[in-house]
Amino acid sequence: MSEWIAGVDEVGRGPLIGPVVTAAVVLPKGHAIVGLADSKKLSAKRREQLAEEIRAVAVGWSIAEASAAEIDQINILQATLLAMKRAVEELECRVDRVLVDGNRLPDLAFPAEAIIKGDSKVEVISAASILAKVARDQMMVELHQMHPEYGFDRHKGYPTKQHLEALKRFGVLDQHRRSFRPVASVITG
């Protein structure tokens, strides 16, 4: 009997705005998805192509998040673990074991293993990495459409020079993470 393994990864721990986004993916045995890799090592176009393929081929997949307010309340690590737990719990397929990128595990009802650099070593974690990155990038493009002066379509909320200057010039948005130092320093002046 074969074992159904869910891969889990997150994206968005470092940005100053928006949620931390996680994905959980279960791929079928012998899938034919070529080119799975750590999402950070792929072009945006290639990530989009692979995400479509993953969603079409996967036995199950889910995207979950922890909001900026949750990050501010419980800290980025705990919010990441919470989002990972949500992603696994939202899978609508059988799961026997969970493989998580990193060195910490969320509280899960399944046997689980944390794998450092798992997003570049384990295909099912790579698939989760790609889905999470594509989902969060899309959120940042949508936020950019509402607030183009911040340039979210380019820096995706990371603390680039452009983002820091926009924060000082235009102020803090509701979606900003108030517990992150660059945002807090704008609030306190």
Model pTM score: 0.96
Residue 166 contacts by C-beta under 8 Å, 6 or more apart in sequence? 149, 150, 151
Q: Which two tokens stand for residue 121?
A: 């070593």
What are the boundaries of each domain within the chain? 5-135
AA letter at 23: A
Confidence band, pLDDT 50/70/90 cuts, at residue 165: very high
From residue 70, alpha-carbon distances to 20, 98, 176 in Å are 10, 24, 11
Q: Are 63 and 87 in contact (CB under 8 A)?
A: yes
Q: Are 75 and 178 in contact (CB under 8 A)?
A: no
Question: What digits encode the pLDDT tens for the residues 5-43?
Answer: 999 999 999 999 999 999 999 999 989 899 999 999 999
Looking at per-residue pLDDT, the higher value among 36 and 189 belongs to 36
- Distance between CA atoms of 63 and 131, rounded to whole angstroms? 8
Given this model, what pLDDT does residue 80 score?
98
Element (H, E) at 21: strand 20-26
Domain 5-135 has CATH 3.40.50.150: no
pLDDT at 1 over 70: no
Given this model, what pLDDT does residue 189 score?
75
Question: What digits encode the pLDDT tens for the residues 72-100?
Answer: 999 999 999 999 999 999 999 999 999 99
pLDDT at 2 over 90: no
Q: If you average pLDDT over every residue of the chain, what do you get?
A: 96
Question: What digits encode the pLDDT tens for the residues 115-159?
Answer: 999 999 999 999 999 999 999 999 999 999 999 999 999 999 999
